[in-house]
Structure 1
Amino acid sequence: MTAPNTAPAPSRGGRWIEQWDPEDEAFWQEKGEKIARRNLLFSVLSEHIGFSIWTMWSVLVLFMGPEYGLTPADKFLLTSVVTLVGAAVRVPYTFAVAIFGGRNWTIVSASLLLVPTVAAFMVMKPGTSFDTFLLVGLLAGIGGGNFASSMTNINAFFPLRKKGWALGLNAGGGNIGVPVIQLVALAIIGASGGPRVLLGIYIPLILVAAVLSAVFMDNIASVKNDTGAAKDAARDGHTWIMSFLYIGTFGSFIGYSFAFGQVLTNQFGRTPLQAAYLTFIGPLLGSLIRPVGGWLADRYGGARITLWNFVGMAAATAVLVVASMQKSLPLFVAVFVVLFVLSGLGNGSTYKMIPGIFQAKALALGLSAEEAAAHGRRLSGASMGLIGAVGALGGVGINLAFRQSFLSYGSGTGAFVTFLAFYAVCFVVTWAVYLRRPAAAGAPATATTEAKPQLSYAEV
C-alpha cells in the first residue's frame, strides 16, 4: 500500500498534514510514528504548564496566612471556582481543535496562560479583597482547558493499538504539572520567598511553550472543520457513561490535588511548609502512573482495569475514613498517596476505553476495519473534551464536599464517606455496562448472544 502524502498543502499557511492514516502500518513505520511522537512531546509540554497554572491556587492558598483574612471555607470555595472554570472551558477547547487545527490552537491556548499568571502576580498580596481573588481564580481556570484540546489533538495522531500508551503519556505529562508547581512552591516557601516569585518563574515558561509549539507541531487537515463530530458524540450514551466514570478517576485526582494541602493544614494542624513537603507526593505518583494505566488497558482491556481500580479506590477511601476519625497522620498520608496512584491508573484505563468503545460499535454496525478505525478516531476525539469536562467537575464536587464537611464536622471524614459511596456506584456501572455478559433467560448463551457488541467492550 502506498503511504499517504503528508506534505503540507501549499495553499495553507502554517504546518498542515493533508492525509493521515496511522492505522496503515507501512505509513506508520515510514514517517507516521516520528511525526506523532514529535507532536506528542510538545503537546505534553504545553499541557504540563497548563495544569500548573490551573492548579496554582492549590499552592497559593498555602501562602495566604491570617494576614489575608480568609477562612478555610473561603479557600475551599476559591479552589472550587478554579476547578469549575477549568472543567467548563474544556468543551470549547475541544471544539477549537476542529476549528483552528491542533497546532494552531496549542499556540493560542499556551499564550492565554499569561492572562491568569500576570493577573495573579498583580493581586497576590494582603489587603486584596476575596472577590478579587475569586475573579483571578476564574481566569486561572483556563489552564484546565489545555488538557481537552491536547487529548483531542493527540488522539488523532496515533493508531488504536497505541492510544492507551500515547494518551496516558500525554495526560500523565500534563498531570505532572500539579506536583511540579507544588515542588517549586515548596522550594520557594523553604527559602522564605513569596508567591510572586512562583508566578514570576512561570511567565517565561509559558512563552517558551508557545514558541516551541509554533515551531515543532502540526495540524491534521482531516480533524479541522469536523465540528459535527462533537454533536454525534454528545448524542451517544457512552460519552455520558464514560463521563460519569471519569468523575471517579480524574475528578478524584484533580479534586484531591487542590484539597490535600488544605486538609493537612485544617485537620492535622500542619504549617504551610509542612503541608508542602507532603502534598506533591500523591499528584507526582498519580501522574507518573497514568501511562501505566493506559498500557495495562492496552494489554488487558480498559474495562477490566477500570473495574478493579474502583475496588482499590473504595478500599483506600474506607481506610481514610478510619485514619481521619483516629487522626492518624502517617496512615492518612500513606493511604491518600495510594488513592492518588489509583486515580492515576484509572485515568489511563478510562481514556483508553473511549476510542475502543466507538470502534467496537462501528464494527458491530458492519463497517470495515478501516472505516471503523476512522469512525472511532472521529467520535472519540470529540467525546474526549466532553468527558474531560464532566470528569473535572468531580474536582468541584470534592472541594465543595470538603468545605461542607469542615463546616459541619470540623474534619474531612464526612466527605470521605460520600466518596466511598460514589466509588461503589462507579464499580457497579463499569460492570453492568462494559463487563456483564448478557445471556438468554433460562438458557445457555447462544452463539448469537455471544456475538453481541456488548461483549467486546471488555477488551477496549
Structure 2
Amino acid sequence: VLYVGLAGHSSLAALLAGGFLLGIGGTSFAVGVPFVNAWFPPERRGLAIGVFGMGMGGTAISALSTVRLVDAYGTSAPFLITAAVLAVYAVAAALLLRDAPGRAVPTEPLARRLASTLRLGTTWQASALYAVAFGGYVAFSVYLPTYLKTGYGLTQADAANRMAGFVLLAVAMRPVGGWLSDRIGPVRVVTGTLVVVLAAALVQSSAPALTPVGTAAFLSLAAALGAGSGAVFALVALLAPANRLGSVTGVVGAAGGLGGFVPPLVMGSLYGTYGSYALGLLLLGAVAAAALTYTATRLRRTAVGR
C-alpha cells in the first residue's frame, strides 16, 4: 500500500507492480474463509462467512473518502491512512487470532495442492457463480458512477453517493445470504438471487426513469448480488473438502475479481459503439439466465444430501 501511494502511481509499469503486490495482500480473504469456517459448526457457517465477507464494504469507504482525502491532503494521504490501519490490525491479529483447535497442517507441495484443487468440479462451479455474483457487484461499484453520469446526467457527487448506497446495501445483504443458506440451503439462495438479477437487468435494459423504477432495479441488483456472494461461499463450505477449502476459496476469489474486471470494459465498449447501455444489461441478463439454469439443474443435483 505504501509503495502504491508513494511511488507506484508514477507509471503504468509501476502501477502494475503495485497491483501485483496488492493482489498478494488480497489473499487474506482466501485465508480468512477456512479460518472462520473452522470455528463454527456447519449449521452456522453460512452466516459466519457472510459476516466475514462484509469486509467488501471497504469499497464504499474508499469511494466516499479517497477523492476527498486526495483533494485535501495530496495523493499519498489515503494510502498512508490505509497503511496505518493495516499496521494496527496486524498487531491486533497477531495478539488475538488463533487457529481453531485440531487444524490439520497440509504437507503436500503447493503445485500438487493447486493441481488437485483445479481438478475439483466444485472449484469451477463456485468460480462461475462467484464471477457472476461478486463480479457483478465489483463491476457496478466501479462503473455505476459513469453509467449514472452518462445515462442520466447526474453530477459526479450524486453518482458517487448513489454508488455508495449500492455498495452498502450489497454489503449488508451478504450475511443475509449466508444466514438464509444455513436455513434453506445455498443452492436455493443462489437460485433466488439469480432470478432477481435477471429480472432487474431486463428492467434496466429499457432505460426507465431513474425514479422510481431505475433506482428500484439497481437496489434489487445490489441486494441480490450481495446475498448471492454470501451464498456462494456457503456453498463452497458445503461442497469443498475440508483440506482443500483454502485452495478452493483462493481460486473462487480470483474468479470473482476477474468477473468484476470484464463487464466495465464491455459496457464502455458497447456504449461507445451503440450509444446505449441496453445491450450490456441484456448480456448481464443472459449470463444470469445461464447461471440460473445450471444452478437449478446440475448444481442442485450435486448438492442433494449435503
**TM-score band w.r.t. shorter chain:** 0.7 to 0.9
Q: Which one has the largest radius of gyration?
A: 1
Higher RCO, 1 or 2 (CA under 8 Å, sep at least 6)?
2
Amino acid at match of 1:205: V
Spell out, residue by residue over 1:361-386, the C-alpha distance to the aligned partner (whole angstroms, 9 max, x if none).
xxxxxxxxxxxxxxx42233332222
Asked if 1 retains the 8 angstrom alpha-carbon contact of 2:190 and 2:295, the reply is yes
Q: How much does 1:307 deviate?
A: 0.8
Q: How much does 1:254 deviate?
A: 1.6
Asked if 2 retains the 8 angstrom alpha-carbon contact of 1:250 and 1:343, the reply is yes
Q: Does residue 310 of the first structure (1) align with residue 190 of the second (2)?
A: no
CA, structure 1 residues 226+397, in 2 after alignment: closer, same or farther (shift >3 Å)? farther
Alignment partner of 1:166 out of 48, 51, 65:
48
Amino acid at match of 1:197: A
Alignment partner of 1:150 out of 21, 26, 32:
32
SS of 1:420's partner is helix
SS of 2:76's partner is helix
Alignment partner of 1:245 out of 115, 121, 129:
129
CA, structure 1 residues 397+219, in 2 after alignment: closer, same or farther (shift >3 Å)? same
Corresponding residue number in structure 2 for 1:120: 5
Q: How much does 1:428 deviate?
A: 0.5
Q: How much does 1:129 deviate?
A: 5.0
Structure (1 or 2) with the greater helix fraction: 2
Query: For 1:43-82, what aligned pairs fall within 5 Å after superposition?
Result: none
Corresponding residue number in structure 2 for 1:184: 65
Q: How much does 1:287 deviate?
A: 0.9
Asked if 1 retains the 8 angstrom alpha-carbon contact of 2:7 and 2:14, the reply is no
Q: Does residue 396 of the first structure (1) align with residue 280 of the second (2)?
A: no
Alignment partner of 1:422 out of 282, 287, 294:
287
SS of 1:176's partner is helix
Corresponding residue number in structure 1 for 2:142: 258
Asked if 2 retains the 8 angstrom alpha-carbon contact of 1:290 and 1:344, the reply is yes
Spell out, residue by residue over 1:387-437, the C-alpha distance to the aligned partner (whole angstroms, 9 max, x if none).
22223211122122123223322343322121110000000100111335x
Alignment partner of 2:88 out of 195, 198, 208:
208
Asked if 1 retains the 8 angstrom alpha-carbon contact of 2:4 and 2:15, the reply is no
Q: Does residue 357 of the first structure (1) align with residue 222 of the second (2)?
A: no
Task: Name the count of aligned residue pairs.
Answer: 302
Q: Does residue 382 of the first structure (1) align with residue 247 of the second (2)?
A: yes
Distance in structure 2 (CA, Å) of the matches to 1:285 and 1:158: 26
SS of 2:39's partner is coil
Q: How much does 1:353 deviate?
A: 1.4
RMSD (CA atoms) = 2.7
Corresponding residue number in structure 1 for 2:223: 341
Distance in structure 1 (CA, Å) of the matches to 2:13 and 2:276: 26
Distance in structure 2 (CA, Å) of the matches to 1:123 and 1:377: 38
Amino acid at match of 1:198: P
Q: How much does 1:273 deviate?
A: 2.3
CA, structure 1 residues 266+329, in 2 after alignment: closer, same or farther (shift >3 Å)? farther
Q: Does residue 434 of the first structure (1) align with residue 296 of the second (2)?
A: no
Corresponding residue number in structure 2 for 1:222: 103
Percent of aligned pairs with the same residue? 27
Gaps of 5+ in 1: 1-113, 359-375, 437-453
Structure 1 runs (4+) greater than 6 angstroms displaced: none
Distance in structure 1 (CA, Å) of the matches to 2:177 and 2:169: 12
Gaps of 5+ in 2: none
Spell out, residue by residue over 1:59-101, the C-alpha distance to the aligned partner (whole angstroms, 9 max, x if none).
xxxxxxxxxxxxxxxxxxxxxxxxxxxxxxxxxxxxxxxxxxx
